[in-house]
Amino acid sequence: MKELLRSFEKYRDWFCVSCGCPMDLKKTDITYLGSQFSLELPVCPECGMVFVPEELATGKMLEVEKILEDK
């Protein structure tokens, strides 16, 4: 998980598509399939838009989804 979070550092140079502000890494609470998680994700400081990187959506979240579905 630490490697995944470190990989999000590359998104610090990205800009919000909605308002054009640079994204900041910010602790963000997300709810997924009824479970809540806190992660540092790229967030726009101006409008609050949260960017969920592909490696999270297709990697860790997919793993969590499969675990929760099996319960």
CB 12 within 8 A of CB 5: no
% of the chain residues with pLDDT over 70: 76
Q: What number does CATH give the domain 2-70?
A: 3.10.20
**pTM for this model (two decimals):** 0.67
Q: What is the pLDDT of residues 1-27, one digit of tens each?
A: 556 556 667 777 889 999 999 998 899
d(CA 42, CA 68): 25
Of the listed ranges 20-29, 49-58, 60-69, the least confidently predicted one is 60-69
